[in-house]
Amino acid sequence: MPHPKNDRAQRLEAQSDKGTGGPIRQCAVTREQHPQTAMIRFVRSPDGVAVPDIAGKLPGRGVWVKAYRGTLEKGLKADVFSRGFKQKTTPMDELADEIERQLLVRCQGLLGMAKKGGKAVLGFDQVRAYIRKDEPGWLLEASDGAKDGRNKVHFLAKAIYEDVKVAGALSSAELGMAFGREHVIHALLHPGSLSEAFSVAYRRLTGFRHAPETEWFAGRHENIRDD
């Protein structure tokens, strides 16, 4: 299924490529080098199938591909895994969609950890109250939430803080699953290590899933009301 070009994810990758510590890997498709955190590792199963290793911990030789759906699909057409593993290797069925699913689970796991550790705030009023006192690490807005509500949250934060990061690629049901509720529309993460880990996970997710916040707030400036 084709996905719109995700400019925000590309900007995040460009930022992460500058001055980022950690291992550097070469993409088997583009031959470009990127931080390991901007890549997806693949391993070859005993029956000759390329499977994603999202955590990068499975044993065996790894083939690395930039964490973008389009790059992976280009590689599949060029039989990148047979070339990388130096023997006939077939991709698992619906590989890009499976990677998206696993990256979503990774993001949800981090959000759940943040809630358990008291590092997440849920609810429209609670989020706005936190913003008035402290800078958020991430604002989380459901992809299917109402425009008016998310604008009030976002533009309040922008009126106070210079750099406001918004994650909008998860639906209210997906956020709810992460936080142990049926649906969540508005939430935030405190700054800190979990927020930084979410940055890495979300950047990779938006390589495979469109991030609607790229259109939500582009070029927008509004007065903030406290109602």
CATH of the domain at 105: 3.30.1330.30
Same domain, 31 and 87: yes
Per-residue pLDDT of the chain (227 residues; tens, 9 = 90+): 334 444 444 444 444 444 344 699 999 999 999 999 999 999 999 999 999 999 989 999 999 999 999 999 999 999 999 999 999 999 999 999 999 999 999 999 999 999 999 999 999 999 999 999 999 999 999 999 999 999 999 999 999 999 999 999 999 999 999 999 999 999 999 999 999 999 999 999 999 999 999 999 875 544 333 44
108-to-4, 48, 137, 167, 206 alpha-carbon distances in Å: 23, 30, 16, 12, 14
Looking at residue 217, what is its pLDDT? 82
pLDDT in tens, 27-46: 999 999 999 999 999 999 99
Q: In the chain, how many domains are there?
A: 2
Q: Which two tokens stand for residue 99?
A: 């990677």
Q: What are phi and psi of 29, to 5 degrees?
A: -95, -55
DSSP bridge pairs for 62:
43
Please check whether residues 112 and 167 belong to one and the same domain: yes
Domain boundary, last residue among 93, 114, 149: 93
Instruction: Please give the Cα distance from 100 to 67 (Å, whole number).
Output: 10
pLDDT tens digit string along 147-170? 999 999 999 999 999 999 999 999
pLDDT for residue 21: 47
Residue 77 structural domain: 7-93
Query: In sequence order, which residues have a C-beta less than 8 Å from that of residue 206 and are 6 or more positions away?
Result: 6, 8, 9, 12, 169
Report pLDDT for 53.
97
* 179 and 207 share one domain: yes
Q: What is the pLDDT of residue 227?
A: 41
Q: Rounded to whole angstroms, what are the CA distances from 161 to 122, 165, 167, 220?
A: 20, 10, 16, 15
Alpha helices in the chain (DSSP H): 7-16, 69-77, 80-85, 95-116, 124-133, 147-160, 172-179, 193-205, 213-216
In terms of Cβ atoms closer than 10 Å to its own Cβ (0-12, 13-18, 19+), residue 2 is exposed
Are 89 and 147 members of one domain?
no
**Whether residue 211 sits in one domain with residue 182:** yes
Using CA atoms, how far apart are residues 167 and 206, in angstroms rounded to an integer? 9
Answer yes or no: are the C-beta atoms of 3 and 200 closer than 8 Å: no
The CATH number that applies at residue 22 is 3.30.1230.10
Residue 108 resides in a domain: yes
Q: Are residues 103 and 182 in the same domain?
A: yes
Q: Starting from the edge strand earliest in sequence, which strands make up the sheet with 90-91, in order?
A: 62-66, 39-44, 49-53, 90-91
Point out which residues pair with 187 in neighbouring strands.
Answer: 122, 140
Q: Are residues 204 and 133 in the same domain?
A: yes
The rounded distance, in Å, linking the Cα atoms of 72 and 27 is 10
What pLDDT is stored for residue 219 in this prediction? 58
Locus of tokens 């699913």: 101
